[in-house]
Each structure stands twice: as C-alpha cells, then as structure tokens.
Structure 1
Amino acid sequence: MKSKGLLSILTFSEKRKDILFLLEEKPSTLSDIKDHFDVSSPEISPRLKEMQAYNLIEKTDKHYQITPIGRAIITHFRPFLEMIETIEKNESFWEEHYLDDIPRHLMDNLMDLINCEVVSDSIENIYESHKTFTENISRSSFIKGVSSIFIPTYPDFVVGLADRGIPTSLILTEKVFSKVRDEHFDKMEFYLKSPHTELFVIEDVKLAFVVTDVFFSMSLFFNPDTYDPRDDLVGYDSSALKWGTGLFDHFKGISRKIVSI
C-alpha cells in the first residue's frame, strides 16, 4: 500500500472523507450510509470498496466500521482539515496581514479560530465596530487586552471599567504607554490605583486584541508599519477564548508590570 495512494483516497474525495467521519462515530449498514448521504448504492458502493482496499474501513456482517488504521489516521487528519478550513474561511484576512508576532505554538493551533468571523468596516466608519465592542465588553466579567495603537476614546473607556470594578489586565506598547502617560496622566493613575486592574508594558508588538469570558477580537497590521483599522477577527466559542487567553499570557510573560507612575 503506497502512502501516496492512501493520501489521495482521503484528499481527492469529499465523500470518502465524510464516510470515514461517519463510521468513526458508529458502525453503519449500507442502508444507513445511503440514507445519511442521500445517495444510491451505485454511487456509494465503489467508495466503500476503495476504503476497504486501503484498510480504512472493514465490513463485519452487515455493518461497515472504521479500522484501527482508519481511526489512527483520522485522529491526525481532522486537525489538518480544520486548519485548512480555518484559513480558507477567512483567507484574505490571513493572507493580507502581518503574522510574525503571533507565537509559533498558537499558529500551530490556528484551527481553534475556525468559528471566528471577520467583521469589516468601511474606511469612512472605522470606529463603528466600537459599538459592537462595547456591547460585548458590557456583558463581560473580566477583560484582558493588548494595544499597539492609541484610540482617543479608550482612556475614558478603560477608566470607566476600572470605576465599575471590572477586573482588567492591559498590555501597552512602549509608545502607547508613553502617550497615555503624558496626555492622560490622571486617568492612568486612577487606573493603576484601582483594586482590580493590571498594567503591563511591552517593547513593541504588531497586533491588538481583547479577550474576555464572552468574546475574542483581534486586529492586525498589513505590515510592521501599517495598521489595519477596518478588519477584526471576532469569535465567541470556548476555543477562540482559550486561544486568545493563550495569546495574552504569551505577551504578559515578556512584558514588565507597571505598579505606579
């Protein structure tokens, strides 16, 4: 059995792949398989024979079932397919942006963002997404974020979070930190003295994001010098929140904590 042939069995046929996933869940008769895919015997039988020939499935009595080899393959094949689907779903977002500051271990688990969607604003309304952002924040019980850009409304917004006692951890780049400290000293001081806040500073990073117990939202740069203010990748499921938390923990680990100014 040639590995090239085995690879083609799974990658060149959507139906064969789907059959393997079906039989991974439970053994099925030919009738079960036909009903599941709404196809006739002439359409499905050749696929089953091909998969039997490559020891992916076997037939016991009237039931087809996945083999140990088939189960071992699908364990590694599923993450591959999910990675491809994640990239293809938001292909332009991943192709057009600078990704070098996303750590390797999180790029390797990019499939955790498979359910995320890109939210885009026109250049004339680049702050419209802030409405959705604030709505999600208002439902959150804690906030963690990294900011490599300065948005004029954010100092007041963050002070409001601190004033309401919402646990907030922020990481600012050196440039953003200096700007906020110089232009909004009292607000930064109030934030630092609040009982449920943390502030960290990192030298530089070319992305911005927030993760809470409700949502994850990330924006990227087109290149190291140009920020994209229009497109945000937004997710709400547990996988996206876990991925975003991992991203925050990575940058927190290479940042310095600010206690007072």
Structure 2
Amino acid sequence: MRRQEMNGFEIYKKMDDDAQAVHRSRLLTEILLSLNEESRKLSQLCEITGSTSQALIPKLRRLEADHLIETKEREYFLTPAGKIVASGIADSFVIFWAINKFKHFWLRHYLEEIPSPLLKEIGCLHESEILKDRGMKILNVYNNQLEMIKEADHIYGISSVVTEGYADSISERVKEGIPVELIVSLHVAEELKRSPYVKKLATLKGYKNFKLMLMNEDIKVGLIVTDKRLSLNLYKKEGIEYDISTGLFSSDSKAIEWGERLFWYCKGKTDFTKFQWRKTCQRIPG
C-alpha cells in the first residue's frame, strides 16, 4: 500500500524545535541570510544584525551544532546544507515582499493563466514598478511598451490584444533585422486576418528573423520581454476583460529571466510554426 505523502503543515508539526527555531528567531534568520550573501566575521555579523557578540555567539554555536554553518580563519561560512536552508528562507521572504509590494495589482487581476512553477518564482518580480494610465498620462502603459520595442535588441511577446501602433512598431524592428518572436491567442489570430493587419503581415513573410506562433486557446496574459526590459499585463479579476491601462514593468535581470521563462513555457504549447505561417502569408493577396 502506497504511503500517503505529508503536506507542508504536517511536516512543520513534525519538525523538531531546532528546525522550527530558525523560523522563530530573528537572529538565527538574520545570520543565515547574511551568510547567504558571503562569509562574515563576528564583528561584521554584530554590525549587520545590530546585536552584541554575547547575543550572537550562542546562536552561532547552535547553527554550528545543526551543521548549517562552520568557521574557518575566524570567518563564518554556510555549509552546503546551510546554503540550501538559507536560500529557501531568502526566497520565501522575496516572494512575500513581491506579493505585498504589488498586492493591489495581484488582487485585481486574473493570475490563473500564469503556470504554477512561475507563480512560485514570482519573487523575481520584486524589483518592478506598476504603471497606470491616469490623468494626462492616458497612454502611459502603451507608450512605455512602444519605447521598449524601439530600444530592444531582441523581442519576445505574448499578445492578447493587437493595435496598429504595436503592429507598426514590431514591423519596423523586424525590417531593421531585430529577432522577434510573437505568440498570439485565437482571438488575436482572427484579428490578424483582417485589414489592416493582413497586409502588414504579408510584408514580413520574407524575414527569417520574425516568427509568429499560435496557441489554440485564449492566453490571458500580455507579455513583452526584451534584452533590456519586461512588461506584463493581465486580465482583470474575472478573467473576461484585458487590462490595457495597468502593467508591471521591470529592467531587473531576474524579472527579465522570469519573463523569458513564461514566454518559453507558452511557446512550448504552440503548434503554429514559422514555416506554416509563411505558407499562410503566401496565400494572402497583394
């Protein structure tokens, strides 16, 4: 008979006091987080934590006894096991920070289309900002996205909407030789069959640096990720209306990498290759 796996709560309840103490003690947590960055001397740990050596030494001894840290030439280091624990603690705080920092953005938008592995890494977005259309800045989000496209050396995109401005900007960069890969949802693909987009696409059919892919479902995510910046738009809470007036932007490398992983995840679900798209364009008149 297969043994039932324990959930997180059951594991926590079975943890001994030594393991739980790391999560209860400010000093133990601060020591681990500090050493997660680099090795430290006792004097440095005192300065970073704002504590005395008398307060720190018992905590250091405890972490040594648990084989999470070790000393060498009067410096404290994380052991391999300590690095795993410290990294996990650091990640959990970063995730909480990102959730709390942008809590209104998350609460007002539909997150269900973001795959679970990427939701678990949402802390990568903590060095971002939320831009909104308001007052005189009625096209703030849109204009920032066009600027991103203009400055990029490569462009990956997931499109839930299409406008002539986006189409013209992308077309211009393709003709300049910039690599561009776009994923479109079903309803956007239908729009691209109509004027003026059908002719705009036809002009790009000979460019090998342009790839257009289709997902056989409606993607409830809008993404532009370049070598320099990330832009993320979502549907509103009900998952019906796309929010073009609010977006998350970042130039942080971790956020850009997160956006790339989202793009590659969606790309893995496409079935519309560049070759097929080019053959389709060859049937477009004019």
Place the TM-score, normalised by the shorter chain, in its bin: 0.7 to 0.9
Q: How many positions carry a matched residue from both structures? A: 259
Q: Give distance in 2, aligned partners of 1:96 and 1:123.
A: 20
SS of 1:191's partner is: coil
Residues 1-261 of structure 1 aligned to structure 2 (within 5 Å): 3=15, 5-6=17-18, 8-24=20-36, 25-29=38-42, 31-41=43-53, 44=56, 56=68, 66=78, 70-122=82-134, 125-184=137-196, 185-202=198-215, 203-222=217-236, 223-255=238-270, 256-257=272-273, 258-259=277-278, 260-261=280-281
Q: Deviations over 1:123-155 (max 9, x none)?
A: 764422233223332221111101111334222
Q: Is the 8 A contact 1:192 1:198 kept in 2?
A: no
- What are the ranges of 5 or more consecutive residues in structure 2 without an aligned counterpart? 1-13, 282-286
- Deviation of residue 228 (structure 1)? 1.6
SS of 1:144's partner is: strand
Q: Taking structure 1 as reference, are residues 155 and 88 closer, same or farther at Cα in structure 2, changes over 3 Å only?
A: same
Q: So what's the TM-score if we normalise by structure 2?
A: 0.76
Q: Give distance in 1, aligned partners of 2:113 and 2:44.
A: 48
SS of 1:227's partner is: coil
Q: Taking structure 1 as reference, are residues 15 and 198 closer, same or farther at Cα in structure 2, changes over 3 Å only?
A: same
Q: Give distance in 2, aligned partners of 1:169 and 1:102.
A: 19
Q: Give distance in 1, aligned partners of 2:210 and 2:71.
A: 61
Q: Deviations over 1:76-114 (max 9, x none)?
A: 323222222222222222222111111222223223223
- What are the ranges of 5 or more consecutive residues in structure 1 without an aligned counterpart? none
Q: Is the 8 A contact 1:101 1:207 kept in 2?
A: yes
Q: Taking structure 1 as reference, are residues 190 and 63 closer, same or farther at Cα in structure 2, changes over 3 Å only?
A: closer
Q: Which is richer in strand?
A: 1
Q: Is the 8 A contact 2:179 2:210 kept in 1?
A: yes
Q: So what's the TM-score if we normalise by structure 1?
A: 0.83
Q: Taking structure 1 as reference, are residues 40 and 219 closer, same or farther at Cα in structure 2, changes over 3 Å only?
A: same
Q: Give distance in 2, aligned partners of 1:123 and 1:173.
A: 31
* Residue 9 of structure 2: aligned partner: none
SS of 2:204's partner is: helix
Percent of residue pairs bearing the same amino acid type = 26
Q: Give distance in 1, aligned partners of 2:147 and 2:26.
A: 40
Q: Is the 8 A contact 1:143 1:168 kept in 2?
A: yes
Q: Taking structure 1 as reference, are residues 147 and 64 closer, same or farther at Cα in structure 2, changes over 3 Å only?
A: closer
Q: Give distance in 1, aligned partners of 2:163 and 2:60.
A: 58
- Deviation of residue 161 (structure 1)? 2.0
SS of 1:254's partner is: coil
Structure 1 window deviating more from structure 2 (191-200 vs 42-51): it is 42-51
- CA RMSD in angstroms, aligned pairs only: 2.9
- Deviation of residue 33 (structure 1)? 2.4
